[in-house]
A and B are shown apart, each in its own frame.
Chain A
């Protein structure tokens, strides 16, 4: 019964924590520009993240190491430095985008420009991390994030042609704007297969003191939680296709366009639901990324770490999330467009994938860490596929970034 409760809570946490500014913005842009045609990218990203999250959780439960710990110990600090720097940089940009997402939600709610909200949001996030516990951060904010299910409700209420939706699950070549189509596909993959998701998950498993008895729980949370989370992203895409594209809005390059998706379905409450979804989802993600930055550096340098410890007991860890949050708020406070930053950072996330995913192939096959629970053929094939996909994305991202003009 206790395990069932933990699984349910884990799934709810994954669902509530799945949607953030990246997945929301990329799905909305894709739906507006290409209707259901890019659903396959969301599905592919979701399948990839299910595999990576399951492996990260299994590695932590069996070896009692986080992924970052494992990379440093197995390959040495010099080899660890590259994924560390790449992940820190990408996380920094994604965190800035998430702070921007909360700031936009506050601008929509109050009419005060988003720039003015960046530092207060960073301060509030810092306060949560400074005073809160891991359980509070992980479960409290994620459960509030269930408000994002309004996109799924909205998609069902719009009564889409489910045959066409299903057809979108099969990759097809675009009939127009090929560069933009592939750039959107890359950005969706970047938003779905974000390194902070699986790295945070492995640190969370250590914080929650998982052991081998959690392997089934881990599988259920990774599979069901991420699948339901992906469903919300598809919900956003469907709503964007049936509201924005149907009204002739094929380009979403201004965040003011986004609330119209729900306003058309729920009226004024749609506006409220959108503001709440964006604010809560992005705030939750900003907290998780702030923690993830601190986990990465602390684990990389062998410092004491843990969100459940008092800041005076892990000063390095607390300093990293403090500095990260305030630095990430600066670009938004200076007026950088959060939507443009989001799309750009999602594409770079996709490009950085090989650096963070290649170590999985070694760590999850090393008996010294995972013993009999090492990867099987399917899991290894999945990792090799993700690495290959990551290399292709790394090569095409920058030219597409310029060519698509986003």
Chain B
């Protein structure tokens, strides 16, 4: 996507010259036209992946006694909300591959549920439940990466 964007910018600047008003118009046009459903799914998948890694990292720090429970629990709640939002946005995008889109939505849903369980476990001080939730997060993260790779793999 980035390479395409750069190429478009370079070509267009060469074609239009460097007049600021035209450059501005050009950039505004990009803004209005460039966010395709595929971009939206890609962006939200990345958000979900970052959120999942955040949950894993903070849970690991909490288990090692390096992060306070209140902070860990609030971080997990916040990550959970981000995952719910990401899942909803992936679901609402009009993708040409609905089955793969549904797969991504389901995995993000699993992640969100595991993170919510982890937040509750940390709040209750239940280490074994938190450990179980962390394993579920890691499994769901691996599934998310696989779904992402499948969705964005080059099509024949």
A residues in contact (CB < 8 Å) with B:
107-108, 110-111, 173-179, 181, 247-254, 256-257, 259-260, 263-264, 267-268, 270-271, 391, 395-396, 399-400, 402-403, 405
B43 engages A405 (CB within 8 Å): yes
A251 — which chain B residues lie within 8 A by C-beta?
A: 46-47, 50
B27 engages A260 (CB within 8 Å): no
A–B complex contacts, Cβ < 8 Å, 28 sampled: A111-B70, A111-B71, A173-B6, A174-B2, A176-B1, A176-B2, A177-B2, A178-B9, A248-B53, A249-B54, A249-B57, A250-B46, A252-B50, A254-B78, A254-B79, A256-B58, A259-B67, A260-B58, A267-B65, A268-B65, A271-B68, A395-B27, A396-B23, A399-B28, A402-B31, A403-B30, A403-B31, A405-B35
B156 interface residue (CB < 8 Å to A):
no
> How far is it, in angstroms, between the C-alpha of A270 and the C-alpha of B67 when the chains are bound?
9
Residue in B closest to A404 when the chains form the complex, CB atoms: B31
Q: Which of B2-33 contact A (CB under 8 A)?
A: 2-3, 5-6, 9, 20, 23-24, 27-28, 30-31
B35 — which chain A residues lie within 8 A by C-beta?
A: 405
Identify which of B3, B6, B27, B68 contacts A403 (C-beta below 8 A).
B27
> How far is it, in angstroms, between the C-alpha of A251 and the C-alpha of B51 when the chains are bound?
8
B146 interface residue (CB < 8 Å to A):
no
> How far is it, in angstroms, between the C-alpha of A395 and the C-alpha of B21 when the chains are bound?
8
B74 — which chain A residues lie within 8 A by C-beta?
A: 107, 111, 256
B95 interface residue (CB < 8 Å to A):
no
A260 engages B54 (CB within 8 Å): yes
Identify which of B6, B66, B71 contacts A267 (C-beta below 8 A).
B66
Residue in A closest to B40 when the chains form the complex, CB atoms: A405
B20 — which chain A residues lie within 8 A by C-beta?
A: 391, 395
> How far is it, in angstroms, between the C-alpha of A262 and the C-alpha of B30 when the chains are bound?
38
B96 nearest CB across to chain A (Å): 22
B49 interface residue (CB < 8 Å to A):
yes
A259 — which chain B residues lie within 8 A by C-beta?
A: 67, 71
B64 interface residue (CB < 8 Å to A):
yes
B139 interface residue (CB < 8 Å to A):
no
B61 interface residue (CB < 8 Å to A):
yes
> How far is it, in angstroms, between the C-alpha of A181 and the C-alpha of B61 when the chains are bound?
30
A403 — which chain B residues lie within 8 A by C-beta?
A: 27, 30-31, 34
A391 — which chain B residues lie within 8 A by C-beta?
A: 20
Tell me whether A247 and B66 are in contact in the complex, defined as CB-CB below 8 angstroms, given that A259-B71, A400-B27, A403-B31 are known contacts.
no
Residue in B closest to A400 when the chains form the complex, CB atoms: B27
> How far is it, in angstroms, between the C-alpha of A268 and the C-alpha of B3 when the chains are bound?
41
Tell me whether A271 and B5 are in contact in the complex, defined as CB-CB below 8 angstroms, given that A254-B82, A395-B23 are known contacts.
no
A393 nearest CB across to chain B (Å): 12
Contact with A along B75-95 (1 / 0, CB 8 A): 100110010000000000000
